[in-house]
Structure 1
Amino acid sequence: MGGKKKPSEAPENKECYIVIFYSAALEALDELDLFGVKGGPQSVIHVLADEVQHCQSILNSILPRASTSKEVDASLLSVISFPAFAVEDSQLVELTKQEIITKLQGRYGCCRFLRDGYKTPKEDPSRLYYEPSELKLFENIECEWPLFWTYFILDGVFGGNAEQVQEYREALEAVLIKGKNGVPLLPELYSVPPDKVDEEYQNPHTVDRVPMGKLPHMWGQSLYILGSLMAEGFLAPGEIDPLNRRFSTVPKPDVVVQVSILAETEEIKAILKDKGIDVETIAEVYPIRVQPACILSHIYSSLGCNSRMKLSGRPYRHMGVLGTSKLYDIRKTIFTFTPQFIDQQQFYLALDNKMIVEMLRTDLSYLCSRWRMTGQPTITFPISHTMISSNFLFSICPVTVRIQTGKLSEFLTTSCCTHLSFMDPGPEGKLYSEDYDDNYNELESGDWMNGYGSTSNGKKVPSVRVEIHLPRDQSGELDFKALVLQLKETSSLQEQADILYMLYTMKGPDWDTELYDEESATVQELLTELYGKVGEIRHWGLIRYISGILRKKVEALDEACTALLSHQKHLTVGLPPEPREKTISEIMVYLAMYMRTQPGLFAEMFRLRIGLIIQVMATELAHSLRCSAEEATDSLMNLSPSAMKNLLHHILSGKEFGVERSVRPTDSNVSPAISIHEIGAVGATKTERTGIMQLKSEIKQMTFAFYSFLSSSPKSPGPSVAPSIGSFPSAYGQQTSKDRQGQWQRRRRLDGALNRVPVGFYQKVWKVLQKCHGLSVEGFVLPSSTTREMTPGEIKFSVHVESVLNRVPQPEYRQLLVEAILVLTMMADIEIHSIGSIIAVEKIVHIANDLFLQEQKTLGADDTMLAKDPASGICTLLYDSAPSGRFGTMTYLSKAAATYVQEFLPHSICAMQ
C-alpha cells in the first residue's frame, strides 16, 4: 500500500508525474531517429516546441506542490534535479527543494509526502484504500526514506555544491546497514516502532526508528552507488548527462524577435514606402514561400500517417507561436508561416485591428520568455488595407521586447530552420492536401488577412434594439411571408438581425426566404451576408449577436480552456442567453492570454466564474458611465474586443481605474467610444488591493486589540478601541470626495467576483477549523473534519473552501464574509483550545452591521444614508467602508467576533486589562 489511497486521487497523482517527465522526455527525443543509421525520414521523432512549453507552464504553475492533493512530495527531487532537470527557473528549483527539506526531511531520510501511511504502524494492510478521515492518523509518523538523500547527493554533484554533497553523504552513512562482507546496504525505509507511536506523535522526529522493507532497496542502492562514484571523481557529470540538461537553470541570452513585415499588395507597399517603411510584397520574397498557419497544421497532420499500419497521423491542431516563428525546409523549399491569430476567419476577433496588435504583443512577449531553440524567432506579418487605414503599424511600436525588422532574405542565416523530413518525396510524402492551392495569393480564403475588407462609411446603426411589429395572418399565426417582406423593406441592420433570428429559430437555417428571385436566399446565407455588412462598419454588438446565431466558434477556445485548466484554474461558465455566449468565449480567450503572459494576476484564485466576471464588467460600466444596467449591458456588448480585453485587465489587476465616454474616433462607426484608464493611487496600493490586505502590518496589533474588545462591553455601540481614530463625525464624512464614494464597495465587488483573497488565507482557514467544529456560510458548513482529510497547503483544500464561499451570490457580501473569517484567523492564533462549535460567519457579519448602524445613528445619520442592500440586509455604507480606521469594517467585525465567541474563551482573557 502506498500513496493517499483514495480512489479519486490515484489517477490525478499519476497524471501529474506523467506530465512532468513528459516535458523533459519531449525535449530529449526531438529529432531522434529510432532506427539510428538504419533509419529514414519515417522513423524520426518530431516534437513541437509549443507542446514542450505547454508542459513547462503546467509544471511552473503547480510547483512546489506535487499535485492538487499533495502540497509537497519528495519525488519532485527527480524533477528539479537528476535525471529530468525539467525546471528552468532556478528560484523555483530552490523553493521546491527548501519545501521538501522543511516539511519532509527527518533523521533517517525524507517522507514521500505528508500523511503517507505506507508501512506505518497505523496502516491496515488488508484494505486497498484509506478512508479520508483516517489520513490524520499518519501525521508525524510517516516513514522516512533514505532514497531521497541520494538525490540530494546527486543534486549537489551536478550543481557543484560540495558542502551539500558532504552533508548528505555523512547523513546517509549513519543509516546504511552493513551486509555480507561489509558491503553497505540502503534499506527501503525507516518506520516508527508500534510501541512508540504515541511518543512520536507528541515529539516528532525524536523516536529511534527501525528499518523495514527491502534490503537493499535496489532503486536507492543504485543511486547511492552512482552518487558515490560521481562524488569521488570516477564519473563526470557529462557522462551521466550527455544532453547537458543540468544547465537548464543557467540564464539564457536575450532573445531578439525578428519581424518581417510583408505587404499584401503593391498598393500597400507604395503606401508604406511613402511613410518611410520599406517592405516587400508576398510575391517578392520568392523563392521563400509564405503560407497561413492552418497550412502548417495540415502538414503536421500527416506526421506519422501510414496506410499500411492503418495509422491516421497526428490530429489536426492549431499551431502555437513557437511553431510559426521558425522557418521550415520542406522538399528543398523554405516556407514561413504567419501567426495563428491572423487565421481567425471563423470568429470576429481578427476584425479589430487593436485586438490584432494586442495578440501580436502577447506573442512577442511569449517568444522572449519561452524561446529555447537555436537561432532567433522570426515572425512573418502581412499588412492589409484595413491595417493601413487605422494606423496599425504605429500602434505596434510601444512594445517592451527586443525586436528587429528586416527582409526575410536577411533573416535566413539567423533564423531557426527545421527540416521536415517526413514530407520528403516518398510513397506518402504529400506536401499538403490537394484542397490547398500552391499559390499563396490563390488560396480559397484569399482575404484571410484582412477579415472583411476596408472599413467603409456605411450607414450608422442604432445600438439599442428596436421593437419589431410581428405581422399575423387571419388565424393569428405569424405571417412569415409578410415578415420576409418586412425584412426586405427595413433599412435597420438591427431589425434585420432580429427578423432573421426569428426565422432561424422558427423555420431553421436552411429555409429559403425567396428574397431573391433568381437564386436561393436561405436564412443561413442571409445571416452570413448580414454578418459581412456589420463587420465592415464594426458594429460589435450586432457582430456578437449574429455570430451567436451562426454558432461561430473561437478557433482558439479549446486551447484557451486547456491553458486555464492546466494552471489549476476551475471554470464556471453558465448558459446565458444570446449574444452573451459569444462574450463568454471572448472572456475565456482573454483570460488565457493573460495567464500566459501575466500569471501573477491570478494569484490565490482557483475558480474563475466567467458569468459573474461579465456581470461585474457591466456593473463597472454602469457605475462609471452613470447609466442603467440595461444600457451598461448594451455598452459592454458593443465594446470592441480590444476595449473589452482592456477592461478585463483593469479588473484583474486590482488597480483603481475609470471608464468614460471618449471623444476620440474609433474604427467603428456605430459602437460607443469608451476610454478605460488607470487612476492614480487614491486608496489602496497594489499590495493592498484586496481591501483587507492593508491590515497586513497591523495583524499583531489587532490581536492585542482583540483583548481590548473583550474587556469592554462588546455590545456597546461606542468607539471603544480601533486601529486608528478618524477626525470626521461619521463614516459618511470619511468620504473625502464624490470620487471616493463607492470605492471600497467596488473593490469588494471586484474581489468577490474574482474570488480574490489575501495570500495565505486558506492556510489560516485550516488553522481556524482546528479550533472549532466548523464554519457555516449561509447554511453551508465547512466541517472541521476537513483538516483530517487534507493538509493546509493542498490546492484541493483551497478549492473546497472557495466552493463554500462561492455559494454566496453577492460578490461584495462574499468579500465581507472573507474579512470576517480573517478576523477569526487572528483569534485562532491566540493560545485558546477552542473558539466555538460551528461558527456562523454570516451572523458575525450581521452583528457587525448592527453595531455599525447603532453607532452611525448616534452620530446623526438618517435612514437614507443607512440604506440596506435588499439581498443581504447589509448597510451599503458598511460595504463602502475601508477595512481599517474608526469606522472600518475590521473594527466592527472584531467586536462582533468577540461577542459571538466570548462564551468559549477563558475568563482570564476576558479579565485582561
Structure 2
Amino acid sequence: GEWGVGKNRDSGSIDSPILELIRELQDGFCNSVRVKLGRLNQLILTAGTERIGFLDDFEFTQSPVKDATPRPYYLISNPDKNGSLSYTQEFRLECETNLSLLLESLRHSQNIYEQIELLRTLKRLRGLDFNTGFGGSQVKVTVEDLLNEVYIRAGTEGASPYWTVVRQAAGLLNKVDISLSDAVTDILVRGKQITVGKAYSEASLIKTPMSHVEIRAKIDEFCREDIRDRVLTQEILIYLSILIKSEPRLLDGLLTLRVGYLILLLTSELAAELGVTQDEAYEQLMRSSPFEVKMRLRSCLAGYEGVNQKLQQLESLHVKQPEQVINWVVLPEVKEEGKGIIPPGNWVRKRQLDGSAGRVPKDFYPKVWLVLKHCKGLVIGDKLERRNRLDSELIISEMTPGEKNFALQVEHLLNKMQAPEYRQVNIEALMELAAIVEENPDLEIEEYIVLDVLIGHAVRLAWLERYPERADRYDEYKAAAWRAFYGTSPIACAGYIIKAFQFLTQVGKATVV
C-alpha cells in the first residue's frame, strides 16, 4: 500500500487505495468514468455476451511490434546513485552559467535528481530546442529529448516513481492533462469559482469554462517560481473535481477554491506533522504520490479551520527578549526620505525604477549579514522555494559581511523576483530589520524570517487600518491592498514592517503552550 490503511475516513487520516477505489465505485464515478454497481443476475439482463472457449491455444506474441528500434537513452542510468540534492547544491546549479561545465556534468551524472536540475538550468539558459551534442554529429539530441528521457525513467526506473522528478520534468516539458478542462467545468457548474497561483487576483480567477490550453496558460502566469507547482496545481484541480462530485460537503462554505492557498495548507500540515520548515515540507509534498496528495487534500478540506490555525502558528516568530524592552526604530535615512516631496509618478513609480535598475542602499549586503546574526536565517522570495533560504549558521561560518560571494547570493535571490516594486519592498524590509537589530544588539529570533510572510502581513495591516470594515473579506481585496502598499512612502512601509513583525511575535506568544 502507499500509505497503509487509515483508521477512520472522518478523522483526517489517510485511507488505503483499495478503500478509496471502493468509495469511488459506490459514488458512481471511477477516475471520471461513470460506473454502475449491481448484482450480477441483474446486470446480466442488459449485458452483452461473447463466448471465447475456442481460444484455449491462443498466446500473445512476445513482441506485437515488429522490428521496433529501442528508444535510445543518452544519460547514465544508475538507480543506486539516485538521491535528493541539498538546497545548497541546487542553488549552485541554478546559478551556474558555464555551458560546457553544465553539459560535461550532465554527461557524467549518474543521479537522476542532479540530471533534472542540470536540464532545468540548460532550459533556462538555452531553451528546449538547444542541441546538447549528446547524439554526435549524426543525431540532434535536444534538451527536450533529454527531459523526455528523464521523465520516462523517473516513472519507471526505481522501486516506485521519483514523483518530484516526474513533476519537474512534466513542468519543464509544459505538459498539460487533457482532462483539465472537464475538471474545471465540473467545479464551475457546481457554483464554485477557482483561483490559481500564490496570490488572489481578478486575473487569476477562473469563472467560466476554458480549454486545457487556456487553463495551462493561466497556471503558468500565476503559479510559484518552482516549475513543479504548475503540475501540482493541475493535480489539485482534478482531485477537487472528483471530491466535489463524490463528497460535496467537503467544499461547503468555500465559494472560491484557491488552489495556491490549498497547496500552502497542505504544506503547513506536513510541516507541523514532520517538524520541519515550510520549504522542506513542500519538498516532501512534491515527493508524494498522486494518491497521497489526493488523500491529504481530502483530509485538509475535512479539517479546514484547524489547518488554517496551523499555518498561522507555523508562520509566527518567537523572540527571546520581552517585547516591551525592544526598541522599535524606523531607519533614520528612511525618516529623512519620508519627509521629502513625493517623487514624480509617486512612490510606485520610484520603486519600479529603483527595482528595475537593481539599486541597493549603501552597506546593504553587510546589513543583511547582520540580520542573519540575529535569526535562524532568511527566506527571500517565494517562501516554499528552498533555494531561497539563507541559513544563518552556514553563511556566518563560511562568509564575511563584505564578501562578494555573499552579496552575489543575496542579489541572485532579489533578481529572481519578477516585479521590480516587490523587489524594492523586500530591500526596504531588510533595511528596516537591520535597523531593528542594530538598535537591539541582544535581539534573538528563534525562527527563519520569511520576507514573503512579513511583507504580506504588512500589506494586510496597512489595508485594514484604512478599511477596518473589510477585515472579514480581506482576500477579495488582496490585489488592491498590494497596489495601495506599493504607493506608500518608505517611512510608512517601514512602520508597517514593524507592525507585521510585532503581529507575528504576538501570534508566536499566543501559540506557546
The higher relative CO (CA closer than 8 Å, separation ≥ 6) is in 2
Same fold (TM over 0.5): no
TM-score norm. by structure 1 comes to 0.26
TM-score norm. by structure 2 comes to 0.45
Higher helix fraction: Structure 1 or Structure 2?
Answer: 2
Larger radius of gyration: 1
